[in-house]
Chains A and B, each alone.
Chain A
């Protein structure tokens, strides 16, 4: 499974990033709370280029270089094929950041760990897909 961005209909509004941040770190989708009280950290990034805008998000590769390269076994694949970070184990070596061919994994300098899309695996439909106002994001197998 992965989220596919439909560049043709991406507005570049940035709501995907906002709802992504709010869905993680225990804020359970409360946008106001994370932006007022917390440190919003979105997992996927909205990219802007001449051709348009699109959400750059993890492909959850079948042969994921980030899993292979992780020195502490922190990046794992769950039974649904979702590649996620186990924060108990991540030591912030950033091997995965260097290995990801798509630039989806980002350093989380504040916690000295990494950020990547986990397809909101604890809550169902990914928050970015659920909240895209123009149907520009789709969850595909």
Chain B
């Protein structure tokens, strides 16, 4: 192939007055952007920069800055620089464009069009620092009329860490989140890559996943868990499976996944034993029997067009917990076109599913958990008011661990030690610091949620659940307000 006509995406700016040639940037960049030769000359290869900010953050003199490459195309509203660059990339490689993390496009974000209520005069607000505030949440089938009490997950906060498989993320991410979840009284999720032997002690605090590849699934894995989650789909790439490149399948990953080392780990698009709701019901029943009816079984689906009918079917198939993953949900790798163009916003899916399950009288048979792009405690409050029992976070947790959202997880060269299995990169995430940061994040969110609940005059998260009168829509059409089931501002 002739000369690559693609110019760099980012430009590394080095302030020569500040650079002391210490070489920290050289040693820290796994993409080899920075090079220092014997004569003390720095040579920067902008082409390789992914804007992960590792060098800039560690530079002891703040000599580095990374900006978007300033070379402009002639202005064109239709042929944007991104769309031109994507064509250059495909013309060069002949391949599917890959990307990591969630859908970054400018679609409407319904969380940003919802406002939360507060008490004034007619009902008292509550001060969470002086009065008790109940955040405990139970997940599972609450319909105890048939067959007695069902297994429940007890959460001290209505937040859990979402599925990220070992292999797509490093062992130190799992260690950080497992420790944090235990300390916070909530749960983490193994993802579809099995459980690392080092984390057997944290299995009871984990929701273990059974996905289409069945990686790492064996009786002890199911036994040593808090709940089992069947992954049907993922918000970032609904309808397609996963592909963990062989480069990331190290010895450890191969042991946890029970596949040969350095071989590609391919999750099929469908489960080959599930082609109908009845098939799903069979697998749910099988897992319930395998876990002696002691653990709730969750089913995770991506938010897609006819999600309400799907949700109704999944609940009727016996799912104790229904997880809906919206199109902002992250991933280690997805075809960019799928990530950017498939699925629907989780806010809309949640409101519709909650209403549908209530209308059908089966809402009590399942707990609704949503995930996909939850950025802060206000998003959590809005999700709960729209009808969610709890919320999964993953991208926010990774950002707390150091992720800088460069979206290059699929390369396995994560400079922050997160989306990599290379030992020298993995060690960059110290799980002792990582767990502390994850605990801090969730503790901070809990404080904020208590403040917001207190403001609304609510002292138990249970009273907020599905309480859409606590929300008002702003800048939304009548139809959107109707679909979300909330009133407009001023109403």
A residues with a Cβ closer than 8 A to B are 6, 8-15, 18-19, 22, 31-32, 35-36, 131, 133-136
Contact = CB atoms under 8 A, between A and B. Distances in A.
Contacts of A14: 22-24, 27
B266 interface: no
Most chain A CB inside 10 Å of its own CB: which residue of B18, B20, B23, B433: B20
Interface in B1-37: 18, 20-24, 27-28
Contact of B28 (A10, A13, A136): A13
Pick the 4 closest A-B CB pairs, nearest first: A35-B20, A9-B430, A135-B433, A31-B60
Given A32-B18, A134-B433, A135-B433, A13 B58 contact: yes
A19 B427 contact: no
Nearest to B436: A135
B428 interface: yes
25 contacts: A6-B430, A9-B430, A11-B28, A11-B427, A11-B428, A12-B27, A13-B27, A13-B28, A14-B24, A15-B58, A18-B22, A18-B24, A18-B60, A22-B60, A31-B20, A31-B61, A35-B22, A35-B61, A36-B20, A131-B60, A133-B57, A134-B428, A134-B430, A134-B433, A135-B430
A31 B61 CA distance: 7
B192 to A, nearest CB: 27
Contacts of B375: none
Chain B interface helix/strand/loop/mixed: loop
Interface of B: 18, 20-24, 27-28, 57-58, 60-61, 427-430, 432-433
A12 B424 CA distance: 10
A31 B430 CA distance: 25
A10 to B, nearest CB: 8
Contacts of B28: 11, 13
A14 B40 CA distance: 17
B20 A136 contact: no
A74 to B, nearest CB: 30
A8 B60 contact: no
Contact of B24 (A6, A15, A135): A15
A136 B60 contact: no
B432 A135 contact: yes
B24 A13 contact: yes
Given A9-B427, A32-B18, A134-B428, A15 B60 contact: yes
Contacts of A134: 427-430, 433
A134 to B, nearest CB: 5
A53 B22 CA distance: 17
B460 to A, nearest CB: 38
B436 to A, nearest CB: 9
Contacts of A135: 430, 432-433
A14 B20 CA distance: 13
Contact of B60 (A10, A11, A19, A36): A19
B129 to A, nearest CB: 31
Contacts of A32: 18, 20, 61
Given A9-B427, A11-B27, A13-B24, 9 more contacts: A6-B430, A11-B427, A13-B28, A31-B20, A31-B60, A31-B61, A35-B20, A35-B21, A135-B430
A35 B24 CA distance: 14
Contacts of B429: 134
Contacts of B18: 32
A6 B433 CA distance: 13
Contacts of B58: 13, 15, 133
Residue of A10, A13, A35, A136 with highest tally of chain B CB at under 10 A: A13
B31 to A, nearest CB: 16
A8 B20 contact: no
A40 to B, nearest CB: 8
A122 to B, nearest CB: 20
Contact of B430 (A13, A18, A22, A136): A136
B48 to A, nearest CB: 19
A22 B22 CA distance: 12
A135 B427 CA distance: 11
Nearest to A134: B430
Contacts of B427: 8-11, 134
Nearest to A22: B60
B91 to A, nearest CB: 38
A136 B429 CA distance: 10
Contacts of A8: 427
A6 B61 CA distance: 25
A9 B20 CA distance: 25
Nearest to A40: B20
Contacts of B23: 14
A19 B27 CA distance: 16
B57 to A, nearest CB: 8
